Amino acid sequence: MDQRPIGVMDSGIGGLSVVRVLRDHLPHEAIVFVGDQGHFPYGLRTQADVCQLALNIGKYLLTHDIKMMIIACNTATAASLPTLQKELPIPVIGVIKPGAEAALAEPHHERVGVIATESTTKAGAYPKTIHELDPNVTVISKAAQPMVAVVQHNEVGTAKAQTVVDQELAIFKEKPVQVLILGCTHFPFLSREITNFLGSNVTLVDPALETVKTAAEMLQTTDSLNNNTTKGTLTLYSTADNAELVQGAEKWLAGDQFTCNHVDIPGD
């Protein structure tokens, strides 16, 4: 039994797509979440830059005495996972390997699509991880950075959101896939728009579920789950203005209780 919180981070509100699965599956765990709105978007930054930002956030989360860190950001996972695992004295997990595993667990996965930020796509993070697990899969990768801002600025459900999704995913009409990995934690919030465009025959994979399963297994193995019977606290921090994060949490974690505060975390 370990009552310390789980630390979670993202460049913005996308990480809430992982937090919502955590709240469903591990409701007794306390969570401290940092949305690095002050340095958003990560997808247009260099790998070195994102690695430093993630490390600084990891160190900040340690001041909350976290027992584990989840990098709820694909871009930061691609840029920093081994560094954080080496530098921080707690277990750290990312979303990419769980996302790849979830896609390959689908019954038809000969052709897998991946949508992600510019940075994750350029790093080839998903094709590399998928091919390590199964070299025979055809992976079609597409950077879809404009979709990130649509979610971050709380424009999901608008006509603009559908237009941006249609434009960014047009390639999958020419090159059809059976499974599409939502390789940016902002994208699960656009699932409806994505299915509107691609149709329900394309299975969408949100890496959050497999990530949370991995976290739960690790905590269980080390007897570190929180066995409290009350709901865990949810504490959100924004490195910029709180408004976007509060609005995002009210929408995507509807009905959940949370507090939100500003925190300054340096960029270098």
Chain positions contacting ligand DGL, by CB under 6 A = 10-12, 14, 40-43, 73-75, 117, 120, 148, 184-186
Indicate the burial class of 122 (C-beta count within 10 angstroms; 0-12, 13-18, 19 or more): middle
Tokens encoding 177: 């896939």
Q: How far is the CB of 42 from ligand DGL (least distance, A)?
A: 4
C-beta of 232 vs 248, nearer to ligand DGL: 248
Closer by beta carbon to ligand DGL, 42 or else 197: 42
**Nearer Cβ to ligand DGL (151/225):** 151
Q: Which residues are catalytic?
A: 73, 184
- Nearest-CA neighbor of 19 among 1, 3, 36, 32? 32
Nearest-approach distance from CB 37 to ligand DGL, in angstroms: 9
Residue 104: alpha-carbon gap to chain centroid: 18
Burial of residue 195, with CB atoms counted within 10 A of its CB: 0-12 exposed, 13-18 middle, 19 or more buried: middle
Q: Angle at the Cα of 34 (from 96 to 40), degrees rounded to 5?
A: 75
Please say which residue, 139 or 225, places its beta carbon nearer to ligand DGL.
139
Least distance to ligand DGL from the beta carbon of 16, Å? 10
As measured in angstroms, the least distance from the Cβ of 208 to ligand DGL is: 10
User: Which helix H or strand E contains 7, and what residues bound it?
Assistant: strand 6-10
C-alpha angle 229/233/239, rounded to 5°? 160
Phi and psi at residue 207, to the nearest 5°: -60, -10
Cα separation, 263 vs 241, whole angstroms: 9
Nearest to 95, CA basis, from 33, 15, 13? 15
> In angstroms, what is the minimal distance from the CB of 22 to ligand DGL?
15
When the beta carbons of 79 and 112 are compared against ligand DGL, the nearer one is 79
